[in-house]
Amino acid sequence: MGIKKIIAVASAKGGVGKSTICANLAYRFSLKFNVGILDADIYGPNQHIIFDIQKEKPKVIDKDGKKKFIPIKSNNISINSMGFILDKDKAAMWRGPMLSGAIKQLKDSTDWGDLDYLFIDMPPGTGDAYLTVAKDLKPDFAILVTTESPLAIQDTLKSKTLFSTLGIPIAGFIKNMTSPSCQNCGELKNNSSVINIENLLQLKQLGSIPSDSKVAEFAFPETVKLFESTYNELKTII
């Protein structure tokens, strides 16, 4: 069966919470589906930190004459990341071809098993990583992440243009770090915005995630309720 669908979670702008959104979406989907995460942010991998598995190392097995990584399981999610391989105190000082090769190898050299969804945590920017993912990993959909910052919105427009040029359908965007949520009911205290992001991007808004300490602390499963409406919206598309 392999991997049924590949979903890229992306933003050209760094610091908008893309990795956090990716992890929480994967967690919500994992409650009903077999899910994996490929951390394609080679220069700044975070998924091993989010799931608190920094000390883990993927096992390597021989399969059909090839070396394969067995992804680390956390919260019923199969995860592989360059963060497991690189020394935590060292940076990956690689040029484009090495970066592209590392992303492709992480995907192809991992024994994912049977997955309903593989979420790809994309790096910021619009460079070689995007081209590699589009050509070799072939996502079924992309989900863009932005904040209400005009700078983030402008960079999200660049992501939209690139994915459209590469022929990858965009499911929509998620607005992150909006008004804080009510501690009792979980509802947003104020979901209004002076910027109509949906009109600017000409994309469907899939959800709005509040600035919430539980999200920042990666407090699974307490964050599930904050992603429920986004999950329901996504399920109608992907």
Per-residue model confidence (pLDDT) at position 1: 61
User: Judging by DSSP bridges, how do beta strands 66-70 and 59-63 pair with one another?
Assistant: antiparallel
One-letter identity of residue 109:
S
- List the alpha helices (DSSP H) in the chain: 18-30, 47-50, 96-108, 128-132, 150-165, 197-201, 213-216, 224-235
Range with lowest mean pLDDT among 128-132, 169-173, 182-186, 196-200? 182-186
Q: What is the pTM of this model?
A: 0.89
What's 122's domain CATH number? 3.40.50.300
Least trusted range by pLDDT, from 19-33, 73-87, 147-161: 73-87
Which of the four pLDDT bands, split at 50, 70 and 90, describes residue 105? confident
pLDDT value for 128 = 78
Domain count within the chain: 1
Average pLDDT over residues 100-128: 88
Q: What is the mean pLDDT of residues 80-101?
A: 66
* pLDDT computed for residue 84 by the predictor: 87
- Could you list the residue range(s) of the whole structural domain that residue 125 is in? 3-235
Locus of tokens 């005009």: 150
Q: Which pLDDT value is given to residue 44?
A: 82
Give the pLDDT mean for 64-68: 89
